[in-house]
């Protein structure tokens, strides 16, 4: 071999060796950098989980209460796992503010699940839409066209009429000294008001499946709150081990047939005789005129119809049920509310919506009840759209975030004697329910907060004021106020486990 050839081979060998060394050093540096940066990315503290299952085995019937107990040990920003899904739990006002205000944009999405995919037309509703242009457009449409102050005012005569029907029923029960199932009555009234506002007519039990309208909606809310393995272990989805996915698909079919029927009834119907255009009328007008500047077809209309129904029915009635429960448990507070109603309205006429602004003590009662019994104790789950550092902790993209407002309402560092029902704690305080004060968030806060707040609060204040103004309430069977059971039944909306039963006595002079 010539010297030239040997020099060439040696040079090439050297070059290859050098390249290999550079590649190895590069890879080593990359690994080191990864290790180093991993060290810096500290997840929030949390309980040790089991392989695959994560922390699912730690939870019983009341997730919000269990999370509160665990957070007491691990801190206000806590990290757990539901199966393979990373979950972050915020349990103090400061922690809630971090997710809902300081880093609001990052945590403005919602996780996908079997219910949102199947029942809500692949997340075309507002509640479970992922954060982005579609959600922004839908939210604008809902707030400006369906839930504006003008629209809420337009339904005032309907609310008066429906509440009048309930008051007449209770008056009759008072004359006969009969027990009234307040939970059922308030639930029916709230469902009727929602149906009239959204669909323009009341729907009866026979209108939705064999089980009936209200039972099917309860079914859906229940299944939406249950831990579905398919959501936490996506690879198990095809096995549907709990049979939930089959049930979700059955419900989706039932709802779709019902919503199609409602839309068909609206198409071609004249609006001229209607007191106020219902929400389906408004949605169909937008659809037919092509006024929406984004993809908006029949599926979107159906998704929003269902959203509004589900979001408004149980939240309002559950909130009212808890307020009435606390009033019956605290006769002194009940008396003060009635005294205020007498001062502002007297006993010669019924409460009008225009009176509500003047009822300051009632307002404090509503705040206090929402502090202890928020309808949605964990809000709705939020999801992070990118990696983020919160209070020094690394929160990976795709984490599910639960804001435990039930725990916040009972935090002893935030509230004096938190377990006591004391509306007077709000005397002279500027804390309101609008999401500006992170110690009290029954409607959430920030981008994903409740767009139905004004409507919800109007219904809650009106129903409570009317029922307490018109009647004195007595517990049946010699029951004492302290005996009222306040056990909770966890769900997306968390109600009392038992119905509230009481005997009315009419107290007005008309």
Q: What is the largest CA-CA distance in the chain?
A: 123
CA distance 87 to 40: 20
- Compute CA 226 distance to the chain's CA centroid, rounded to the nearest angstrom: 15
Q: Residue 448 interacts with ligand HEM (CB under 6 A)?
A: yes
**In the complex, least distance from residue 279 CB atom to ligand HEM, rounded to whole angstroms:** 8
Tell me if 182 sits within 8 A of 466, measured CB to CB: no
Q: Residue 85 interacts with ligand HEM (CB under 6 A)?
A: no
The torsion of the CA quartet 502, 508, 509, 510, rounded to 10 degrees, works out to: -90
Q: Residue 126 interacts with ligand HEM (CB under 6 A)?
A: yes
Residue 5's contacts (CB-CB under 8 Å, 6 or more residues apart) are none
Q: Residue 456 interacts with ligand HEM (CB under 6 A)?
A: yes
**Which CB atom, from 202 or from 507, has the smaller least distance to ligand HEM?**
202
Annotate 126-183 with three-state secondary structure: CCCCCCCHHHHHHHHHHHHHHCCHHHHHHCHHHHHHHHHHHHHHHHHHHHCCCCEEHH
User: What is the DSSP code (8-state) at residue 45?
Assistant: P
Q: Residue 442 interacts with ligand HEM (CB under 6 A)?
A: yes
Strand locations in 51-95 (E): 77-82, 85-90
Q: Residue 414 interacts with ligand HEM (CB under 6 A)?
A: no
**Which CB atom, from 118 or from 312, has the smaller least distance to ligand HEM?**
312
Q: Residue 232 interacts with ligand HEM (CB under 6 A)?
A: no
Residue tagged 């390249």 (tokens): 19
Site map 293..322 versus ligand HEM, x via CB under 6 A:
--------------xx--xx--xx--x---
**Which CB atom, from 324 or from 379, has the smaller least distance to ligand HEM?**
379
**In the complex, least distance from residue 306 CB atom to ligand HEM, rounded to whole angstroms:** 11
Q: Residue 95 interacts with ligand HEM (CB under 6 A)?
A: no
Q: Residue 449 interacts with ligand HEM (CB under 6 A)?
A: yes
The site that binds ligand HEM (CB under 6 A) totals a number of residues, namely 26
What tokens does 468 get? 């307490």
Q: Is 450 annotated as a binding residue?
A: yes
CA distance 432 to 429: 8
Q: Residue 127 interacts with ligand HEM (CB under 6 A)?
A: yes
Work out whether the CA dihedral 53, 385, 314, 338 comes out positive or negative: positive
CA distance 407 to 439: 10
Q: Residue 283 interacts with ligand HEM (CB under 6 A)?
A: no
What tokens does 117 get? 């995919």
Residues 350-379 that bind ligand HEM (CB under 6 A): 375-376, 379
Residues 377-396 that bind ligand HEM (CB under 6 A): 379-380
Q: Residue 399 interacts with ligand HEM (CB under 6 A)?
A: no
**Which CB atom, from 44 or from 111, has the smaller least distance to ligand HEM?**
111
Binding site for heme, residues? 450
Question: Which parts of this chain interact with ligand HEM (CB under 6 A)?
Answer: 126-127, 139, 147, 307-308, 311-312, 315-316, 319, 375-376, 379-380, 442-444, 448-452, 455-456, 460
């Amino acid at each position: 071999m010539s010297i030239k050839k040997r020099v060439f081979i040696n040079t090439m060998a050297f070059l290859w060796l050098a390249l290999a060394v550079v590649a190895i050093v590069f890879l080593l540096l990359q690994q080191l950098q990864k290790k180093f940066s991993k060290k810096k990315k500290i997840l929030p503290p949390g309980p040790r989980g089991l392989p695959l299952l994560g922390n699912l085995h730690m939870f019983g019937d009341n997730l919000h209460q269990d999370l509160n107990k665990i957070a007491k040990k691990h801190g206000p920003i806590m990290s757990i796992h539901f199966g393979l899904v990373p979950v972050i739990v915020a349990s103090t006002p400061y922690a809630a503010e971090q997710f809902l205000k300081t880093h609001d944009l990052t945590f403005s999405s919602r996780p996908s699940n079997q219910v949102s995919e199947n029942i809500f037309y692949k997340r075309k509703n507002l509640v479970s839409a992922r954060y982005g242009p579609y959600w922004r457009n839908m939210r604008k449409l809902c707030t400006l066209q369906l839930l504006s102050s003008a629209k809420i005012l337009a339904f005032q005569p309907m609310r008066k009429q429906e509440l009048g029907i309930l008051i007449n029923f209770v008056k009759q029960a008072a004359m006969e000294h009969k027990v009234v199932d307040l939970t059922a009555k308030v639930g029916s009234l709230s469902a009727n008001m929602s149906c009239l506002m959204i669909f323009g007519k009341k729907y009866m039990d026979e209108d939705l499946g064999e089980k009936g309208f209200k039972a099917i909606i309860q079914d859906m809310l229940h299944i939406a709150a249950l831990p579905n393995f398919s959501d936490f272990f996506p690879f198990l989805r095809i096995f549907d081990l709990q049979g939930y996915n089959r049930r979700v698909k059955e419900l989706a079919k039932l709802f779709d047939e019902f919503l199609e029927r409602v839309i068909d009834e609206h198409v071609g119907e004249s609006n001229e005789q209607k007191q106020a255009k219902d929400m389906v009328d408004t949605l169909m007008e937008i659809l037919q005129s092509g006024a929406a500047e984004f993809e908006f077809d029949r599926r979107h209309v159906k998704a929003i119809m269902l959203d509004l129904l589900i979001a408004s029915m149980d939240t309002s009635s559950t909130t009212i049920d808890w307020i009435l429960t606390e009033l019956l448990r605290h006769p002194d507070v009940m008396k003060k509310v009635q005294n205020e109603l007498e001062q502002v309205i007297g006993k010669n006429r019924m409460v009008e919506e225009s009176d509500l602004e003047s009822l300051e003590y009632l307002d404090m009662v509503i705040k206090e009840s929402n502090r202890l019994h928020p309808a949605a104790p964990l809000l709705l789950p939020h999801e992070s759209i990118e990696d983020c550092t919160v209070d020094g902790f690394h929160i990976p993209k795709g984490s599910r975030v639960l804001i435990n407002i039930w725990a916040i309402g009972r935090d002893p560092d935030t509230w004096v004697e938190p377990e006591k029902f004391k509306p007077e704690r709000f005397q002279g305080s500027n804390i309101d329910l609008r999401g500006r004060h992170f110690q009290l968030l029954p409607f959430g806060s920030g981008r994903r907060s409740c767009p139905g707040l004004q409507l919800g609060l109007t219904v809650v204040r009106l129903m409570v004021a009317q029922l307490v103004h018109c009647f004195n309430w007595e517990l049946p069977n010699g029951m004492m106020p302290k005996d009222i059971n306040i056990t909770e039944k966890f769900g997306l909306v968390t109600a009392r486990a038992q119905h509230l039963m009481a005997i009315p006595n009419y107290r007005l002079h008309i």
